[in-house]
Amino acid sequence: MTEPSYASQSSAARARSSIRAGEWTGPTAGLAPGFVQANLVILPGAHADDFTAYCRANPRVLPLLEVCQPGSPVPLASAPSADLRIDLPRYRVFRDGIAIEEPTDVMTLWHDDFIAFLFGCSFTFDAVLASRGIAVRHAELGRNVPMYVTNRSTEPAGVFSGPLVVSMRPIPRNAVERVVELTGRLEIAHGEPEHVGSPAELGISDLGVPDYGDPVPVGKDEIPVFWACGVTGQAAIERSRIPFAITHAPGHMFITDQTVDGLLTDA
């Protein structure tokens, strides 16, 4: 089967240029469809080994795309013309595990010992679903994807531990099997769902009140489907109480130059 091509050569660069210019400051769901989107964590070098170990202990939750060179904000493997200090729509700054601000750039906060981590995001597979006629509700409504803290724990490593965070998409009942198969082919975007069906089994009491993002309705012929979410890394930063960290604001991702076409594999 020949897979469709989702992206033009320059749409990722155009999207980053718009973000850098301050023209786009919202969530990146649906932006530059067909390009891989990534979670961002920036840490002082003293905590980098522990976070690398945490990602490797939880590969579906935090699938590493790239670890930048110490002190460099340039992701040479993912987008060599980019600058991680200014090319995301919104950041989140943590001090002692507490989120204190959400700036639109972190130029003045950057230090030479910082190490930036990029890892996969479920926004990457939204274009795949849409191309198959499977509605992506948050994108259709112009909302951020809803994200929930669950009752499941991640594997700890070093100073990092914490709960699994998931994103949710309503999926038609007759499309769930196909969606599981399609997303399972994109391991770098969290792969197949963590859970299908009852939110109570994940400890979620009300889908209408997400911990991050915006609520989206689930229709009577739809089932809520939950994927691992990179905001899990932020929950681990909160629990660790490390002195300083920078991440993306939930839903405000980094858009890489890598295309989904290059990641899909035959099932």
pLDDT at 6: 37
Q: Are residues 39 and 108 in the same domain?
A: yes
For residue 31, being part of any structural domain is answered with yes
Mean per-residue pLDDT of the chain: 93
Range of the domain at 111: 11-122+240-262
pLDDT at residue 264 in the model:
65
Distance CA 154, CA 112 (A): 30
**What was the pLDDT predicted at 262?**
67
Upper half-sphere CA count for residue 247 (Cβ side, 13 Å): 22
Indicate if 23 and 99 belong to the same structural domain. Answer: yes
Sorted by sequence, the CB contacts under 8 Å of residue 55 that are 6+ apart come out as: 62, 63, 64, 117, 119, 233
Q: What is the pLDDT of residue 170?
A: 97
Residues 183 and 83 reside in one and the same domain: no
**pLDDT number for residue 266:** 44
Q: For 108-143, what is each residue's pLDDT tens digit?
A: 999 999 999 999 999 999 988 988 899 899 989 989
pLDDT tens digit sequence for 56-66: 999 999 999 99
Torsion angle, alpha carbons of 17, 73, 227, 35, to 10: 40
Query: pLDDT at position 195, please?
Result: 97
* Domain CATH number, residue 37: 3.40.1640.10
What CATH number is given to the structural domain containing 185? 3.30.2040.10
Please say whether the dihedral angle defined by the alpha carbons of residues 229, 25, 213 and 33, taken in this order, is positive or negative: negative
Within this chain, do residues 113 and 161 fall inside the same structural domain, yes or no? no
Answer whether residue 156 shows pLDDT above 70: yes
**Pair (157, 75) in one structural domain:** no
- How confident is the model over 169-222, as pLDDT tens digits? 999 999 999 999 999 999 999 999 999 999 999 999 999 999 999 999 999 999
Do 107 and 157 sit in the same domain of this protein?
no
Q: How far apart are CA 70 and CA 49, in angstroms?
A: 12
76-94: pLDDT as tens digits: 999 999 999 999 999 999 9
pLDDT tens for each residue of 210-258: 999 999 999 999 999 999 999 999 999 999 999 999 999 999 999 999 9
- The pTM (predicted TM-score) of the whole model is 0.91
In a domain, 246, yes or no: yes
Alpha-carbon 262 to chain mean position: 18
Domain membership flag for residue 223? yes
SS3 249: coil
Measure the CA–CA gap between 240 and 250, rounded to whole angstroms: 19
pLDDT at 164 over 90: yes
Mean pLDDT over 29-49 rounds to: 95
